Structure 1
């Protein structure tokens, strides 16, 4: 028994709306933090000058994507659930294995779709460029995409991760909530000491920040967990974190020669 069942909330409903709630809670925590200029990847002046879309538009775009995401999730759960069959949770080690499979499936799907949206000039110009209007990323902008990209990259990728991993709706609650937190963290624009995501993953805030810069748009396509495909297929751009003179950090590419 889990607490949400006491309120008549199914695992399917929780799996649909918990990640959405976590997006705004976790993103809100970042936005409520004090200035922390000494940990920023970019100065506030850069954010004001380089970003090409106001936050109000970003929030509206994210809400639209989350609405579409919820519709698809509820539809998928309704098609795959069996009301007359009691779903049994697998042992913890099995669930961990399912989560790892789901992470690899999501990474694989997002890498190739994301990379193709950069290679195909039409798709980049009319669809993926919307996400790159945030040259200086911040937490609430993690899911700011064209609605078609949000559907194809995140929602369809999430559905494949769920179906191919064999996880139950209850396990998916934890997986998709964690994936949402990871995505928000990758776009937070802060390099905070002791951040567990930075300690556990090489694909992190600085790694993805490189991709959002002009010199990195053809590199570091991997998201949201590992950088395996970048390294295998030669699109990995190594970088060094350096202190800026005005405070904060800068991810500078490391040249091979």
Structure 2
């Protein structure tokens, strides 16, 4: 009798593994990425007020909550017959991806923006994420557990349910969303990055939001910049090469 793991469990655990594998690549590359960094190492050390070890522990806590809630959700919606739903044709999966991306973006934009508008929520919850003024890859999910529950877990659940995707398709969607989130927080601008060709929402775009001048702008995450542009919270920027190496995302003033 062979050992098998359900798609629901895979959909919960694989994105967690993808998070650490993809962010780990940036750690392994280390100094070789210096000429592509959006901030110097000195800025990272002086502007960020939490240690990297604290960030790792914080992400583990966040992911523990994420795993628990995801497994509970899958238990509640699981078919009582125990027969997995067949996966739809590729064109249907593509449509489900687009729907899920739109739902996740919409949820996260408005929840994220409200956490900045509401002073209590910002002070006691969202400000934890902004202690990383200089973002880095494995700090992407460094959040207050309640923020992770509201923005990521609840948003992901809505995207999954409203798109109608199967748990197997969900494995791929949430793994992709995880890669995109890590990439947006990686703090580097690589010359060849296919995600930058596909999405205007990228590491430089999100870096602007993490700076003091950009905290009221660029709320969109993780895919598009649509809601920022529609609702007037889009801050354009230009990438400028620094003399000491790397790039800087400078806001374009009117």
Task: State the TM-score, normalizing by the size of structure 1.
Answer: 0.96
* 1:18 maps to 2:21: no
Query: What is the Cα deviation at residue 34 of structure 1?
Result: 3.7
Secondary structure at the counterpart of residue 118 of structure 1: helix
Alpha-carbon distance in structure 1 between the residues aligned to 2:235 and 2:3: 48
Root-mean-square deviation (Å): 0.9
Counterpart in the other structure of 1:254: 252
Q: Deviations along 1:210-232, whole A, 9 cap, x unmatched?
A: 00001100000000000000000
* 1:225 maps to 2:223: yes
Query: What is the Cα deviation at residue 203 of structure 1?
Result: 0.2
Question: What 5-or-longer segments of structure 2 have no aligned partner?
Answer: none
Secondary structure at the counterpart of residue 33 of structure 1: helix
Of 46, 52, 56, which residue of structure 1 is paired with 2:53?
Answer: 56
1:84-163 alignment, distance < 5 Å: 84=81, 85-163=83-161
* 1:66 maps to 2:63: yes
Q: Deviations along 1:19-41, whole A, 9 cap, x unmatched?
A: 00000000001110041211000
Of 213, 216, 224, which residue of structure 1 is paired with 2:214?
Answer: 216
Question: What 5-or-longer segments of structure 1 have no aligned partner?
Answer: 1-5
Greater than 2 Å deviation, 4+ residue runs = none
Counterpart in the other structure of 1:3: none
Alpha-carbon distance in structure 2 between the residues aligned to 1:149 and 1:34: 29
Counterpart in the other structure of 2:168: 170
Alpha-carbon distance in structure 2 between the residues aligned to 1:215 and 1:245: 22
Check 1:128–1:34 CA distance in 2 against 1; reply closer, same or farther (3 A cut). Answer: closer
Alpha-carbon distance in structure 1 between the residues aligned to 2:119 and 2:6: 43
Alpha-carbon distance in structure 2 between the residues aligned to 1:7 and 1:91: 28
Alpha-carbon distance in structure 2 between the residues aligned to 1:186 and 1:86: 34
Of 233, 237, 240, which residue of structure 1 is paired with 2:238?
Answer: 240
Query: What is the Cα deviation at residue 7 of structure 1?
Result: 4.2
Alpha-carbon distance in structure 2 between the residues aligned to 1:112 and 1:69: 20
Alpha-carbon distance in structure 2 between the residues aligned to 1:184 and 1:126: 24
Alpha-carbon distance in structure 2 between the residues aligned to 1:65 and 1:139: 15
How many aligned positions are there? 251
Query: What is the Cα deviation at residue 76 of structure 1?
Result: 0.8
Secondary structure at the counterpart of residue 86 of structure 2: coil
* 1:44 maps to 2:50: no
Alpha-carbon distance in structure 2 between the residues aligned to 1:72 and 1:195: 32
Q: Deviations along 1:162-209, whole A, 9 cap, x unmatched?
A: 000000000000000000000000000010111111111100000000
